[in-house]
A = this chain, B = another copy of it.
Amino acid sequence: MAEQPMARADGRRADALRPLRLQRHFTKHAEGAVLVCFGDTQVLCTASVEEKVPPFKRGSGQGWVTAEYGMLPRATHTRSDREAAKGKQSGRTQEIQRLIGRSLRAVFELDKLGERTIQIDCDVLQADGGTRTAAITGAYVAAVDACRHLQRQGLLKEWPLKDAVAAISVGIVEGVPMLDLAYVEDSACDTDMNVVMTGKGGLIEVQGTAEGAPFSREEMERLLDLAQAGIQQLVQAQQEALAHE
């Protein structure tokens, strides 16, 4: 019955996250480099500091935070074409990278960052649903590392992050609201929602889509409840990952 959290393909309860991993310093060149895993979804998030800003920020005293997203061709079940070879990024890629950029900027105080850019790159090594929410969750940790790098170099007067940010997907699968959908669940779901929240619980983005039948206000409430609880766990895990240097 839909009211009871029921078991899923991987044995999880409906309100359970997949095993979470946030591995900092995964590669050596970037100022922040985090491998984030939501179960079998693996995304490498790097944060690069660049001592310049886009034209519309020049002379403003403010910095900028932006993101790009990509997927290795064989991150997916069947190989997808390489966007660099096709010569353009898909609409889906652009939507996701714009979402990641907006989500990160929501917790930054750009004037405290100074006139520099933090360039986030989220590259999916293996995909199993939820790549954009994993990317946001990992990108925050990479961004903190990049800011700590700036701080260690004495380049920041004030800490430029005002809150944490994390994201999770929720959806209604065969009538049951579920947290953190894996690919098979995502493919089968009627309603799919991505929620981005701050550490303090403020909503940054809510993107709900009826894949099959429309959804009701009540279903939406149930999904937001699930997401809220899940994001609290993610923010907790971010803090733990960042606890040590």
Contacts and interface: CB of A to CB of B under 8 A. Distances in A.
Contact of A83 (B73, B84, B205, B213): B84
Contact of A220 (B50, B92, B125, B206): B206
A158 interface: no
A220 B94 CA distance: 26
A216 to B, nearest CB: 7
Q: Summarize A's interface: helix, strand, loop or mixed.
A: mixed
A157 interface: no
A77 interface: yes
Given A98-B95, A206-B220, A123 B72 contact: yes
Interface in A30-64: 30, 33, 40, 42, 44, 46, 48, 50
30 contacts: A30-B74, A44-B72, A44-B125, A46-B73, A46-B74, A48-B74, A48-B79, A70-B72, A70-B84, A72-B121, A73-B119, A73-B121, A79-B119, A83-B84, A87-B87, A91-B91, A91-B94, A91-B97, A102-B209, A106-B214, A198-B214, A200-B214, A202-B213, A202-B216, A203-B210, A203-B215, A203-B217, A205-B209, A206-B208, A217-B224
